[in-house]
Amino acid sequence: MAFGRFICLFTVAAFLVSLRPCLSENITRGSFPKGFVFGTASSAFQYEGAVKEDERGLSVWDNFSHTAGKILDFSNADVAVDHYHLYPDDVQLMKNMGMDAYRFSISWSRIFPDGTGKINQAGVDHYNRLINALIAEGIEPYVTLYHWDLPQALQDKYNGWLDPQIIKDFALYAETCFQQFGDRVKHWITFNEPHTFTVQGYDVGLHAPGHCSILLRLFCRAGNSATEPYIVAHHVLLSHATVADIYRKKYKAKQMGSLGVAFDVIWFEPKTNSTEDIEATQRAQDFQLGWFIDPLMFGDYPKSMKYRVGSRLPNFTRDESTLLKGSLDFVGINHYTTFYAESNATNLIGFLLNDSLADSGAITLPFSKDGQPIGDRANSIWLYIVPRGMRSLMNYIKQKYGNPPVIITENGMDDGNNPLTPIKDALKDDKRIKYHDDYLQSLLASIKEDGCNVKGYFVWSLLDNWEWGAGFTSRFGLFFVDYKDKLKRYPKNSVQWFKNFLNSP
């Protein structure tokens, strides 16, 4: 989950599907295909805390979150929700709800405090304990290798993702995880939302390491918004392909696991029926999902990107293209909301920014041509509730990418963190219940009526947590965390809803 996603004026989809109305009956676990997986999701930096314990090294987010003016409420994640120590209790919360799986990330700097070199056994031991605790309760671990927390040592050494050396260092880290945990972990996600950390971190500067340029130089000390996002993305893609090749050649036959990427995808609908807006919507999706999934499916970037970005977009060699193509075993999708897209006819955005945000030639906002919001809003200024977008997105992936296995690796909504609201009132999250019910209805329709190949659904998130640039101002959890009283967890009404849902035939 990423605060600041509203800034991205180009994340849209252009595919139009004529869909029948969604299923309307009450749904339960039994409504979904046999073997369909339900779980909750988290990330190390947002959950764990304990940033200076057991030889953990610093990450770029440790430095960024301690930089004045970067976090909305001036907070940091030094303690977060203390999942590092409280994970046994949190595993029980999942177990009691009836969840099948838990998606969590490994902190690279807990395994390699310096990003590479000597393995930190204390970090390995922690994740072994967590994995074993999950398995003991019948909960399947889904492990993300990179959820934005690059070791600061690699940023200092060679600018991290901007240097091709990162490919070798990430491969070493990933292979170490396969060696240490792969006997029990069967579902690996190499990267969480590569599009988000590429753009937010290297274009607009709202995420670590905080690079940007042009008019945004007021907020950033370094960066080139016109080139750095494309360089970072290129290295991320080659890192995934390299790791997938290592896994398939050395570990898959014995460990029998699979690898995917969790892509962030805002679905977009054209603001009008004009040809210009329809074409702009497709370009915007090319610059969001297509930017990262097309090379992994087809071996190269979308044609619209190659045409519009030109020499600023790196090229893949023939061998790299071969390595990339087909390197996904499944497609992870983090989907929360839907926006409108329109053609940026005046190119005012491009004139002001000259960066990857403007290159698509599309403007994406959650308001119609009459100024009406596309749906009811959650707490985050970018999160509008539009359940139909889930079904449209699943059909887009089915038709454009050959109906690959898809896992919804994140879906959810947030409430605000009002310190004046009594806990008993904060637990009454009927809006969240309706959100999940409606999005699951839409997802189920895509499976049953449209034949989309969806295998699982992960709620963001089990607990209220530290939400990147939004700090503690946003509450996405099924469980309320009392930040004023030893981080006690209280079940919101949505917990009972999911418990009923998961335990009904």
> DSSP labels for 185-245?
--EEEEEE-HHHHHHHHHTB-SSTT--B-GGGGGG-SS--TTTHHHHHHHHHHHHHHHHHH
| Residue 137 annotated as catalytic | no
383 vs 5: CA distance, rounded Å? 9
| Residue 175 annotated as catalytic | no
- Residue 31 CA to chain centroid, in angstroms? 26
54 vs 303: CA distance, rounded Å? 47
Buried b (16+ CB within 10 A) or exposed e, 461-482: bbbbbbbbbbbbbbbbbbbbbe
Residue 301 tokens read as: 């970037």
Residue pair 241/231 in contact by the 8 Å Cβ criterion: no
455 vs 450: CA distance, rounded Å? 14
10 vs 344: CA distance, rounded Å? 10
Catalytic residue among 48, 140, 269, 410: 410
Query: What is the SS3 assignment for 70?
Result: coil
320 vs 235: CA distance, rounded Å? 11
Phi, psi of 101 (to 5 degrees): -150, 160
Catalytic residue among 140, 193, 269, 342: 193
413 vs 435: CA distance, rounded Å? 7
Query: What is the SS3 assignment for 177?
Result: helix
Enzyme catalytic residues: 193, 410
